[in-house]
């Protein structure tokens, strides 16, 4: 996981905050940010961000910031060191946690993130090869995802994340009346070699439309899924009975998993998203979801 991680202050545009690069165009415009490695076990986002740094990408207007969010976790070969870096983005949580590596990094990044008008956070998943957006169900996030139009699959999260606050939920991003907007894109599986190329292509597409309509992508059929209730594992012996590829449609009455000796039965015709590998009792095993 540490392969390819440069020195904390490598390359032009370095901000003084480790693994954050920022470029001012000198012309008015939004502050656009691309983040990767919010989870330390997701090297595709890291590869995409570092490739953009190496390519010398620069904003035509406004400011562009490129950041690796949790390099300490990557260096440790882990998803996170002390706590999930994508569940703690609330000021009182960041201020109230004086001990975790992640809260300290959040406080270090916060002054920059607060200035950002348009943010893309690049992730990958355990199982799902198809790239897709994960977005708060707000008009502004839907508009940005629609403008990008790629990937064409959108997972909408009404009310936000069920077990914490994403980076993309931080501050102004969660305020429906503030124009600042942030989206997450899952760019394939953690281990697939293709995921880094997908993440880079998503980032390039994001840069085309972050500051306005940009060139259209023809022949894209956008599909949206609205997340509903989480399925919480009751035992440590939770086993899915359906493919783990994500966005799997099930019919009312289908046995979709065994939770210990108890069958988990679909309460309606639904779609299953975000399957978690080997969930423990009390953890979210997957999310029930509806097409919308
Ligand atoms: Zn992630």
Enumerate the domain spans of the chain: 20-209, 227-291
| Separation of alpha carbons 179 and 175, rounded Å | 8
**Topology at the third CATH level for domain 227-291:** OB fold (Dihydrolipoamide Acetyltransferase, E2P) (2.40.50)
The sheet carrying 255-259 orders its strands as 238-240, 255-259, 262-265
Q: What DSSP designation does 59 have?
A: -
Higher pLDDT, 214 or 91: 91
Give me the pLDDT at residue 8, please.
65
Q: What DSSP designation does 14 have?
A: B
Give me the pLDDT at residue 213, please.
82
Q: Which residue has the tokens 């991003």?
A: 173
- C-alpha of residue 261 to centroid of ligand 1, in Å: 31
- C-alpha of residue 239 to centroid of ligand 1, in Å: 22
- C-alpha of residue 124 to centroid of ligand 1, in Å: 5
Neighbours of ion ligand 1 (CB under 5 A): 39, 123
Which residue in 45, 41, 112 sits closest to 72, CA to CA? 41
- C-alpha of residue 100 to centroid of ligand 1, in Å: 18
Please provide the average confidence, as pLDDT, over all residues in the chain.
93
- C-alpha of residue 37 to centroid of ligand 1, in Å: 8
| Positions of E strands within the chain | 20-24, 31-36, 63-68, 118-125, 132-136, 153-157, 181-189, 223-232, 238-240, 248-250, 255-259, 262-265, 270-273, 284-291
| Separation of alpha carbons 226 and 15, rounded Å | 38
User: 20-50, pLDDT tens digit by residue?
Assistant: 999 999 999 999 999 999 999 999 999 999 9
- C-alpha of residue 27 to centroid of ligand 1, in Å: 33
- C-alpha of residue 253 to centroid of ligand 1, in Å: 31
pLDDT average, residue stretch 6-33: 87
- Say yes or no: domain 20-209 is CATH 3.40.630.10: yes
pLDDT average, residue stretch 86-110: 98
User: 155-169, pLDDT tens digit by residue?
Assistant: 999 877 777 899 999
pLDDT grade for 245, boundaries at 50, 70 and 90: confident
Instruction: Calculate the alpha carbon distances from 2 to 12, 72, 101, 222 in Å.
Output: 21, 9, 17, 36
- C-alpha of residue 140 to centroid of ligand 1, in Å: 22
User: 181-218, pLDDT tens digit by residue?
Assistant: 999 999 999 999 999 999 999 999 999 999 888 888 88
Instruction: Calculate the alpha carbon distances from 215 to 145, 205, 212 in Å.
Output: 14, 9, 9
* Residue 110 reports pLDDT greater than 50: yes
* Residue 1 reports pLDDT greater than 60: no
- C-alpha of residue 257 to centroid of ligand 1, in Å: 24
pLDDT average, residue stretch 132-150: 96
- C-alpha of residue 142 to centroid of ligand 1, in Å: 20
- C-alpha of residue 64 to centroid of ligand 1, in Å: 22
With a pLDDT cut of 70, the percent of the chain lying above it is: 96
**Pair 238, 277: CB distance under 8 Å:** no
User: 213-243, pLDDT tens digit by residue?
Assistant: 888 888 889 999 999 989 999 999 999 999 8
pLDDT grade for 276, boundaries at 50, 70 and 90: confident
- C-alpha of residue 25 to centroid of ligand 1, in Å: 30
- C-alpha of residue 254 to centroid of ligand 1, in Å: 29
**pTM (global) more than 0.85:** yes
Which residue in 132, 276, 129 sits closest to 192, CA to CA? 129
* Residue 3 reports pLDDT greater than 70: no
| Separation of alpha carbons 118 and 206, rounded Å | 9
| Separation of alpha carbons 189 and 184, rounded Å | 15
With a pLDDT cut of 90, the percent of the chain lying above it is: 84
Greatest pairwise CA separation for the chain in angstroms? 63
Which residue in 162, 86, 90 sits closest to 124, CA to CA? 86
| Separation of alpha carbons 136 and 171, rounded Å | 13
- C-alpha of residue 169 to centroid of ligand 1, in Å: 14
- C-alpha of residue 57 to centroid of ligand 1, in Å: 24
Total residues belonging to the chain: 292
- C-alpha of residue 41 to centroid of ligand 1, in Å: 8
* Cα end-to-end span (Å), the chain: 37
């Amino acid at each position: 996981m540490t392969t390819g991680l440069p020195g904390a202050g490598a390359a032009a545009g370095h901000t003084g905050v480790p693994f954050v690069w920022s470029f001012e165009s000198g012309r008015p415009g939004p502050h656009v940010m691309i983040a990767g490695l919010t989870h330390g076990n997701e090297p595709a986002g890291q590869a995409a961000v570092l490739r953009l740094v190496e390519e010398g990408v620069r904003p035509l207007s406004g400011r562009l910031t490129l950041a690796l969010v949790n390099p300490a976790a990557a260096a440790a070969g882990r998803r996170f060191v002390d706590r999930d870096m994508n569940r703690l983005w609330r000021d009182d949580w960041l201020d109230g946690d004086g001990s975790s590596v992640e809260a300290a990094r959040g406080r270090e990044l916060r002054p920059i993130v607060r200035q950002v008008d348009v943010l893309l956070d690049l992730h990958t998943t355990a199982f799902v090869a198809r790239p897709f957006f994960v977005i708060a169900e707000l008009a502004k996030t839907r508009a940005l995802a629609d403008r990008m139009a790629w990937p064409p699959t959108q997972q909408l999260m009404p009310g936000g994340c069920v077990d914490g606050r994403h980076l993309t939920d931080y501050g102004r991003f969660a305020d429906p009346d503030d124009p600042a907007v942030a989206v997450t894109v899952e760019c394939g599986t953690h281990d697939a070699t293709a995921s880094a190329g997908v993440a880079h292509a998503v980032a390039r597409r994001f840069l085309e439309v972050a500051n306005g309509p940009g060139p259209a992508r023809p022949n894209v059929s956008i599909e949206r899924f609205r997340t509903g209730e989480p399925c919480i594992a009751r035992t440590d012996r939770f086993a899915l009975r359906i493919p783990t590829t994500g966005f799997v449609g099930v019919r009312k009455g289908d046995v979709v998993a065994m939770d210990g000796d108890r069958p988990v039965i679909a309460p309606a015709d639904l779609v299953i998203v975000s399957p978690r590998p080997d969930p423990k009792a009390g953890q979210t095993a997957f999310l029930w979801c509806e097409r919308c």
